[in-house]
Structures are given as structure tokens and as C-alpha cells.
């Protein structure tokens, strides 16, 4: 009887470890999908409904609408790197470093951010963006305001890029940055 109890405890502990590792592995696969430009691997690890929160801002996605977000993000050529990954209860806490063309322009590259991942039925169902330790939101806001104002007066055909989260919106954002930089060099 004692051997059976010890065996059951060992099985339970090992299954908990496998579950924790699999959640961490889901998060790693999620970021690898961005790193390797492979949305198929991301789609495999996200639930049919994905919620991303940032403060009071809540974004709801289906796997199809998240693909649109993925395409928007990919235009800026992001480089994601996991710095720390920790299982905590049923969540995974992750510290990432991300660099991109957009963040470079906003003078906040690389950004180091904490995120909390939640799961349902073996898939990522919610990502809570917690804090970006090294973000300078004043510089960010100043750079965005300057770019939007410059576009309004010099490149009106690109107006609205800042709120357009489609791939075309990202391409317009990048074009606005490039033209703004060219103007600064003159």
C-alpha cells in the first residue's frame, strides 16, 4: 500500500511538471512564431478567442483577427527575445526584450516588458501586458505627436496611419517614419 501511495504521488508530481513545462513551451512557441515569421505555429498555441490587455485597454481577437495584428507587427521587423520565463500557479510570467523599426524611431528600443499568459484547454487565451521597465513614455509620446503632426502637414495621404492597425496602416506608419527621417536629414 505504501509503495502504491508513493507511486501515485510521483505520477501526480511528474504530470504537474509536464503541465507546467507545456505551458512554458506554449509561450516559447508563441514568441518563436514571431521570431521565425511563422504564424501557423502561433495559431496552434492560441485559443479561438484571445484577449490582450494593457492597463484598461482590452483587445479581443479571433485567430483570424490576431493574424491581422501579426501582419501589422511584422512590418516593423520586430526581434523578440525571452529574458525570463516563470511558471506561477496556472499562469506563465515572461520578461521579453523587443526591438523594432518602430521602437527605434520612438527611441524606446529595445523595450523590456513583463507579460502574464493565461491558458484554457491547453492554449493561450489571454496575455496581460504588465510593465515595460525601460520605456520612456514621454519620449514615445513626443515622437508620435511630432510624426503625426508632420504627416498632417507634409504627407496628408498618410493621415490616419497611427490608428490603422491593418498591414497597410503599418506600411503607411513605416513610410511616414522614413519620410520624416529624410526630411530631418535635409
Domain span(s) for CATH 3.10.450.50 in the chain: 2-135
Instruction: Determine the pLDDT at residue 15.
Output: 44
The pTM of the full predicted model, rounded to 2 decimals, is 0.82
Q: How confident is the model at residue 117 (pLDDT cuts 50, 70, 90)?
A: very high
Grid cell at residue 59? 483587445
11-70: pLDDT as tens digits:
444 444 344 448 999 999 999 999 889 999 999 999 999 999 998 999 999 989 999 999
CA dist list (Å): 9 to 2, 23, 89: 11, 21, 19
**Nearest alpha-carbon partner for 30 in 99, 75, 94:** 94
Is 2-135 a domain of CATH 3.30.9.10?
A: no
Position 100 pLDDT exceeds 90 = yes
| CB 113, CB 77: distance < 8 Å | no
**Nearest alpha-carbon partner for 129 in 21, 22, 50:** 50
Amino acid at each position: 500500500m505504501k509503495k502504491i501511495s508513493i507511486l501515485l504521488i510521483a505520477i501526480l508530481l511528474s504530470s504537474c511538471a509536464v503541465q507546467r513545462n507545456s505551458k512554458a513551451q506554449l509561450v516559447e512557441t508563441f514568441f518563436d512564431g514571431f521570431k521565425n515569421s511563422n504564424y501557423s505555429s502561433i495559431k496552434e498555441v492560441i485559443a479561438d478567442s484571445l484577449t490582450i490587455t494593457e492597463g484598461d485597454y482590452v483587445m479581443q481577437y479571433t485567430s483570424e483577427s490576431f493574424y491581422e495584428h501579426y501582419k501589422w507587427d511584422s512590418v516593423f521587423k520586430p526581434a523578440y527575445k525571452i529574458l525570463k520565463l516563470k511558471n506561477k500557479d496556472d499562469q506563465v510570467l515572461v520578461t521579453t526584450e523587443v526591438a523594432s523599426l518602430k521602437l527605434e524611431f520612438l527611441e524606446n528600443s529595445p523595450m523590456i516588458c513583463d507579460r502574464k499568459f493565461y491558458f484554457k484547454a491547453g492554449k493561450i487565451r489571454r496575455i496581460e501586458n504588465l510593465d515595460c521597465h525601460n520605456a520612456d513614455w514621454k519620449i514615445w509620446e513626443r515622437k508620435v505627436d511630432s510624426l503625426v503632426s508632420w504627416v498632417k502637414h507634409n504627407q496628408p495621404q498618410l493621415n490616419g496611419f497611427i490608428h490603422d492597425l491593418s498591414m497597410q496602416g503599418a506600411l503607411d506608419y513605416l513610410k511616414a517614419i522614413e519620410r520624416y527621417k529624410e526630411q530631418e536629414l535635409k
